Chain A
């Protein structure tokens, strides 16, 4: 999957999970940039990402993501 295609799909997931159509994520986006993105909502987000991209993320990947860029790196390779 190309990076652009990953972002297109990922933005839709973010908008659905956080119920906010104004969200546009990029490589540098972190939980600090989205008000509702806390450690609990991260679980919902990761579940939605896995369903949308039909991939399985490990616990280490889920807990260790530093920014959206790292998530996109994984999705680009696997989806």
Chain B
């Protein structure tokens, strides 16, 4: 099941809210959320429910053992066993498909790879599991005493498919009991509608526009068309994932969970390092806290750690070579920025930094898109006209004209316009009630518009549910 689905929005979520708010008993409320979370997950992957349950049981008991034997060999063995299990499981599902494809080619066999497809959200809930086991080892948290509360942490439907990778420490007290204030409900609804609009109105329309230019037509696309296509694709990835994250945060808030932001207007960045502090924040902070400081040859090492993190970021996204190249590509730019130093970079005119970062990012998302290296080669050649299709043609012109409004909206909302407007509105006493009414009207209009679009559209799953 996905958030941008009429069944979810008009049946599953309201039913869950009704059952949840029927009682004030925190245990009953947790039970409602667990049951609905398991149903939510089972809709897409019924057989992997058992895997999700097994991981939660495994973590729950391992963490108890780790805490009991902290600082002793037994504790280290238990932690090692837990980490190896999580990592091997992730690598198995991520790479069994490509490995089977390779061995089939080698031996002329044909194995059914469908049994080894990545269970939805596995990378996200395994990372939650890893962070929990390490935090217990490092005494940042004590192990959860109640299994069902831990199961709720791992399986909560608002985060199970594509994150954010919420840390146990951040929701520990809310797992016990929580309440949603009227402000939470207001903000929750606002975020859900904003996220839905980002996904349904912008992202779902940008993807076909990008596909038209970068799909089968790529060998024949003119230079402007290739640039336009990759710009559409970059904005698509942003609005798809930021839209999902908005909805995840908004839905969580309706139940009283306060989750940290996963995006912070990443495209306003001046440097690539800053971009990654603003994009998929929960993944970046996971790698920073649990991988960057890992001892390499006895102690943490700056540049080795940097490349380990960026290699892993690429690998986490997929088993194709383009993801590894994509991760290392960003690693190289962050290395260059580190070598130059923040003080010197600050002296470079802002407009130059914006051109540099946007160019690096757009090319980066081009690498992210093309899983086949031959297509990636065609893409790079197309960017500079080496495919022999000229600078601009009718196809590129019509793609621009047809999607000009979408593109303008896509670029406009990359900037923090809405929060700035809200801030101005709240400062002015006369405008405040008008602003409240406008928000309600706008939410209603956007919800109706998205619902109409969803009735007529085929299902568009969120991109990051694949990772």
- A residues near B (Cβ < 8 Å) are 35-36, 38-44, 46-47, 50, 58-64
Contact partners of B137 in chain A: CB under 8 A: 60
B413 CB–A CB distance under 8 Å:
no
How many A-B pairs have beta carbons closer than 8 Å: the answer is 51
CB-based contact B293/A36 at 8 Å = no
CB-based contact A59/B300 at 8 Å = yes
Interface residue stretch chosen among B46-54, B336-344, B356-364: B336-344
Q: Which of B254-303 contact A (CB under 8 A)?
A: 273, 288-290, 292-295, 299-302
* Bound CA span A47–B294, Å: 13
* Bound CA span A36–B140, Å: 26
- Whole-angstrom distance from the CB of A59 to the nearest CB of chain B? 5
CB-based contact B341/A43 at 8 Å = no
Q: 15 A-B Cβ contacts within 8 A?
A: A35-B343, A36-B343, A38-B273, A40-B292, A40-B302, A43-B293, A43-B301, A47-B299, A59-B293, A59-B295, A60-B137, A60-B139, A62-B300, A63-B288, A63-B292
B138 CB–A CB distance under 8 Å:
yes
Contact partners of A50 in chain B: CB under 8 A: 299
- Whole-angstrom distance from the CB of A73 to the nearest CB of chain B? 13
B156 CB–A CB distance under 8 Å:
no
Chain A interface main SS type? helix
Most buried by A among B138, B140, B305: B138
In the complex, residue of chain A having the shortest beta-carbon distance to the beta carbon of B304: A43
In the complex, residue of chain B having the shortest beta-carbon distance to the beta carbon of A20: B343
B249 CB–A CB distance under 8 Å:
no
Contact partners of A40 in chain B: CB under 8 A: 292, 302, 305-306, 338
- Whole-angstrom distance from the CB of B86 to the nearest CB of chain A? 17
The interface size of chain B toward A, counting residues with CB under 8 Å, comes to 23
Additional A-B contact list (20), CB under 8 Å, known A40-B306, A60-B140, A62-B300? A35-B342, A36-B342, A39-B288, A39-B292, A40-B292, A40-B305, A43-B293, A43-B301, A43-B305, A47-B299, A59-B294, A59-B295, A59-B300, A60-B138, A60-B139, A62-B293, A63-B288, A63-B290, A64-B138, A64-B140
In the complex, residue of chain B having the shortest beta-carbon distance to the beta carbon of A39: B288
- Whole-angstrom distance from the CB of A1 to the nearest CB of chain B? 22
- Whole-angstrom distance from the CB of B381 to the nearest CB of chain A? 35
* Bound CA span A64–B289, Å: 8
In the complex, residue of chain A having the shortest beta-carbon distance to the beta carbon of B292: A39
* Bound CA span A36–B302, Å: 14
* Bound CA span A38–B292, Å: 12
In the complex, residue of chain A having the shortest beta-carbon distance to the beta carbon of B346: A35
* Bound CA span A28–B138, Å: 22
Contact partners of A41 in chain B: CB under 8 A: 302
Most buried by B among A38, A42, A46, A63: A63
B134 CB–A CB distance under 8 Å:
yes
- Whole-angstrom distance from the CB of B394 to the nearest CB of chain A? 48
CB-based contact A43/B300 at 8 Å = yes
* Bound CA span A59–B300, Å: 8
- 1/0 per residue, CB under 8 A from A, across B299-334: the answer is 111100110000000000000000000000000000
- Whole-angstrom distance from the CB of A44 to the nearest CB of chain B? 6
Shortest 4 CB-CB contacts between residues of A and residues of B? A60-B138, A43-B302, A63-B289, A62-B293
- Contacts A60-B140, A64-B138 hold; do A43 and B342 have CB atoms under 8 A apart? no
- Whole-angstrom distance from the CB of B431 to the nearest CB of chain A? 33
- 1/0 per residue, CB under 8 A from A, across B341-383: the answer is 1110000000000000000000000000000000000000000
- Whole-angstrom distance from the CB of B297 to the nearest CB of chain A? 12
Contact partners of A59 in chain B: CB under 8 A: 138, 293-295, 300
